[in-house]
Chain A
Amino acid sequence: MTILFGVPLSVLLGQLLLGLINGAFYALLSLGLAIIFGLLRIINFAHGALYMLGAFVTLLSLQYLGVNYWFALFLAPLTVGLIGMLIEKYLLRRITGEDHLYGLLLTFGLALIIEGLFVKLFGVSGSSYPMPDALKGGFNLGFMFLPKYRAWVIVAALIVCFVTWYMIERTRLGSYLRAGTENPKLMQAFGINVPLLITLTYGYGAALAAFAGVLAAPIYPVSPGMGANLLIVVFAVVVIGGMGSIMGAIVTGLLMGLIEGLTKVFYPEAANTVVFLVMVLVLLVRPAGLFGKET
């Protein structure tokens, strides 16, 4: 067996694959954050709460309405997307043009309220969501046992990330969006409904978070704190990738998953901090982030 840095290659491969799966979650979440920051210039601290909402919509719709997993993949992003649009229309819009700090505080407060409400209603232990039958079991890859569901997570997350990237970078709607980022006043003059565009964008970002929440429901305990724990790492990912950069968010998300995966083998005690270490290094060398434009 090949040994690399004192660790068998097979073990390393398994860890890298797991890292990629965690990276897929980071990518999905940081993508939503990057889109929202790109157009709204809002640092969306409610993102973790929206992710948690996605998981809870999945859980509760099964418990009370009998909605299965596959349907929840659409229902949860739709529901949370709508909630997101309401948040944008009635709260965030009021602070357009103010300092970043207002948006940050508003969304942070919102996250605390939503999470607090769920703690009150469901406690902190959370519940588990049954694995959909089609994705039970797993593949024996020789070097590891890969549960089917985890493989599905990578595929689903990458498809959604790619579609989102394509929509923004390659379609007409996406070009409006990018133009709106550059110069909203001019866009308005051309007859584009920029406020609607902004509402839809925030809704879409929220829907992405909820989609990640649905993906997470069968493998992680569905609990009110699930988003808050992840959020800070995801922010670091966005900073490393470059605030507002779409491709940067996706690639960095996957990359950080890999780095974290390796850390868990070589020095597990630092697994929660390694992303921040990378962030510090990147900020020192390239303050605009790996994929950000230096201004």
Chain B
Amino acid sequence: MKGLRKAIGLIVAAGLLSSTAQAAISDDEIRIGYLADMSGTYRDLSGPGGLEALKMAVEDFGGQVNGKKIVLFNADDLNKPDVGANTVRQWIDEKNVDVVTGLVATSVVMAVNKIVEQENKLALISGSASSALTNEFCSPNHIHWVYDTYALSNGTAHAVLQEGGKDWFILAADYAFGHALEADLTKVIEAEGGKVVGKVRHPFPSNDFSSYILQAQGSGAEVVALANAGADMVNALQTASQFGLSQSGQKLAGMVVFLNDVHSMGLEVTQGLMLTTGWYWDMNDETREWAQRYHKRVGRMPTMAQAGVYSSTIHYLNAVKATDSDDSQVVRSKMIETPINDMFAKNGKIREDGRMVHDMYLAQVKTPAESKSEWDLYNILRTIPGEQAYRSLADSQCKLIKN
């Protein structure tokens, strides 16, 4: 009898201990690691600007949550999976980092996600594009915030197909991200009665795209889709304009186009280009106000990825505040429970597979005559409701979804 009582006592004590462990903030600090490309091809898309957005979020919380200090770490992943994985491993092992944010190149994110899952921490992905992150590679330890290859290709391809472009040529970057984009795009094209008449995968990164553009011209396709990003996309688009791709009657569709790309190429080259974006700074008073705050600090307007870093961090910190815990699963559940209503998204919802579903926007690049200022670059043509924009759970291969 005495033994039994002791055993029950132990069980209760253990239960109490574990519940206090859950409802507490480890080390009395919330430790956030910002990992991104700080110096390479994706620097302007996320990079130091994303870090600044993160700092804005932390400052908006007064640097602490429920009296517990927020501590930031940041590192350059150089777009190398091994560098990214090592950094995160070190952050978790030595610094007890609770959440990793930023996260751009898909190859890096895949490597980081594995570690984050093993260690049961949390990753908030803002920069990365691959829709596989919430499909075959989903995990209960990461949330994909801003956009994905499915939503972008779906949005843009759908619009272009509706205008009558049936025969497609796909120029894809030859790595995980490009492959994912190519696959998602092909599905959309074929589902809507179009056809992929040719494709070429180019090494990442490439210097010269004239050869590929020539192949696209020779393919007889009506639409040439650029399934690459960053400097490669800029380079390909510029080359296409020099080789008179649109004059020869072909239409260009950029799948992953960011504000900084359009800004860098200039409107002369990019005017008329259709694209899908998860966010644009000049949509309403709320976005404008936040963007102006950001602009004061960085000197550029934020991209959707940088805005996503802010939004996801705020949502995370709110969940930490509400639960008074930094345990990944406690916080994640709270984040899923709570809809996202901020300058980034209205009624955004995080699904069980880690996908943050929110409205996307079909945009067209303005002509030089339409643009009134340096960053006045897009016309928003229409809103794509989140449920239409993202892959439906019915088609999901995610292990967390029971189909």
A interface residues with partner B (beta carbon < 8 Å): 8, 11, 14-15, 18-19, 21-22, 116, 119, 123-128, 130-131, 138, 144-145, 147, 149-150, 219-221, 223, 225-226, 229-230, 261, 264-265, 268-273
Residues of A within 8 Å of B266, CB to CB, are 127-128
Q: Is the CB of B200 within 8 A of A268?
A: yes
Choice from B41, B47, B242 contacting A225 with Cβ under 8 Å: B41
Closest to B259 in A: A125
Q: Is the CB of A128 within 8 A of B248?
A: no
Which of B80-88, B189-197, B206-214 interfaces with chain A? Answer: B206-214
Q: Is the CB of A265 within 8 A of B43?
A: no
The distance in angstroms between the C-alpha atoms of A226 and B235, with both chains bound, is 11
Q: Is the CB of A128 within 8 A of B203?
A: no
From B202, B205, B218, B265, name the one whose CB has the most chain A CB atoms within 10 angstroms: B218
Q: Is the CB of A126 within 8 A of B207?
A: no
Does B261 belong to the interface (CB within 8 Å)? yes
From B44, B206, B210, B261, name the one whose CB has the most chain A CB atoms within 10 angstroms: B210
Given A11-B215, A124-B39, A268-B200, does the pair A230, B264 have CB atoms closer than 8 Å?
Answer: no
Q: Is the CB of B234 within 8 A of A126?
A: yes
Residues of A within 8 Å of B243, CB to CB, are 138, 145, 147
From A11, A18, A22, A131, name the one whose CB has the most chain B CB atoms within 10 angstroms: A18
Residues of B within 8 Å of A223, CB to CB, are 231
Residues of B within 8 Å of A126, CB to CB, are 231, 234, 264
Does B55 belong to the interface (CB within 8 Å)? no
Residues of B within 8 Å of A8, CB to CB, are 218
Given A123-B43, A128-B265, A221-B265, does the pair A264, B212 have CB atoms closer than 8 Å?
Answer: yes
Given A125-B264, A138-B244, does the pair A261, B44 have CB atoms closer than 8 Å?
Answer: no
B interface residues with partner A (beta carbon < 8 Å): 39-44, 47, 174, 200-203, 205-208, 210-212, 214-215, 217-218, 230-231, 234-235, 238-239, 242-244, 248, 260-261, 263-266, 268-269, 300
The distance in angstroms between the C-alpha atoms of A126 and B210, with both chains bound, is 19
Given A18-B210, A147-B242, A272-B203, does the pair A125, B234 have CB atoms closer than 8 Å?
Answer: yes
Q: Is the CB of A119 within 8 A of B43?
A: yes
Given A221-B264, A269-B203, does the pair A128, B212 have CB atoms closer than 8 Å?
Answer: no
Residues of A within 8 Å of B234, CB to CB, are 125-126, 221
Closest to A15 in B: B211
Given A219-B239, A225-B231, A269-B201, does the pair A144, B214 have CB atoms closer than 8 Å?
Answer: yes
Q: Nearest 9 A-B pairs (CB), nearest first? A: A125-B264, A272-B203, A264-B211, A124-B43, A125-B44, A18-B210, A123-B44, A147-B242, A125-B260
The distance in angstroms between the C-alpha atoms of A233 and B73, with both chains bound, is 36
Residues of B within 8 Å of A273, CB to CB, are 203
Choice from B39, B231, B238, B265 contacting A219 with Cβ under 8 Å: B238
Told that A125-B260, A270-B203 touch, could you supply 17 new A-B pairs with CB distance under 8 A?
Answer: A11-B215, A22-B210, A116-B39, A123-B43, A124-B39, A124-B47, A127-B266, A145-B243, A147-B244, A149-B242, A221-B264, A229-B207, A264-B202, A264-B211, A268-B211, A272-B203, A272-B206
Q: Is the CB of B218 within 8 A of A11?
A: yes
> Can you list 20 A-B contacts (CB < 8 A)?
A15-B211, A18-B210, A18-B211, A116-B39, A125-B234, A126-B231, A128-B264, A145-B243, A147-B244, A149-B242, A150-B242, A220-B235, A221-B265, A226-B207, A230-B207, A264-B215, A265-B211, A268-B201, A268-B212, A271-B206
Q: Is the CB of B202 within 8 A of A124?
A: no
Minimum Cβ distance to chain B for residue A113 (Å): 13
Closest to B248 in A: A145
Closest to A8 in B: B218
Given A268-B200, A269-B201, does the pair A225, B40 have CB atoms closer than 8 Å?
Answer: yes
Residues of B within 8 Å of A127, CB to CB, are 264, 266
Q: Is the CB of A128 within 8 A of B269?
A: yes
Q: Is the CB of A221 within 8 A of B44?
A: no
Residues of B within 8 Å of A265, CB to CB, are 211, 215
Minimum Cβ distance to chain A for residue B346 (Å): 29
Q: Is the CB of B43 within 8 A of A221?
A: no
Residues of B within 8 Å of A225, CB to CB, are 40-41, 231
Residues of A within 8 Å of B41, CB to CB, are 124, 225
The distance in angstroms between the C-alpha atoms of A261 and B213, with both chains bound, is 12
The distance in angstroms between the C-alpha atoms of A150 and B210, with both chains bound, is 10
Residues of A within 8 Å of B260, CB to CB, are 123, 125
The distance in angstroms between the C-alpha atoms of A128 and B43, with both chains bound, is 17
The distance in angstroms between the C-alpha atoms of A30 and B103, with both chains bound, is 37
The distance in angstroms between the C-alpha atoms of A225 and B41, with both chains bound, is 8
Closest to B245 in A: A145
Q: Is the CB of A229 within 8 A of B242?
A: no
Q: Is the CB of B238 within 8 A of A18?
A: no
The distance in angstroms between the C-alpha atoms of A61 and B109, with both chains bound, is 40
Residues of A within 8 Å of B235, CB to CB, are 220-221
Choice from A14, A22, A149, A270 contacting B208 with Cβ under 8 Å: A22
Residues of B within 8 Å of A116, CB to CB, are 39
Closest to A272 in B: B203
Q: Is the CB of B201 within 8 A of A221?
A: no
Closest to B42 in A: A124
Residues of B within 8 Å of A220, CB to CB, are 207-208, 235, 238
The distance in angstroms between the C-alpha atoms of A69 and B206, with both chains bound, is 25
The distance in angstroms between the C-alpha atoms of A268 and B377, with both chains bound, is 33
Minimum Cβ distance to chain A for residue B131 (Å): 22
Choice from B43, B202, B242, B248 contacting A268 with Cβ under 8 Å: B202
The distance in angstroms between the C-alpha atoms of A263 and B329, with both chains bound, is 50
The distance in angstroms between the C-alpha atoms of A131 and B200, with both chains bound, is 28
Residues of A within 8 Å of B200, CB to CB, are 268
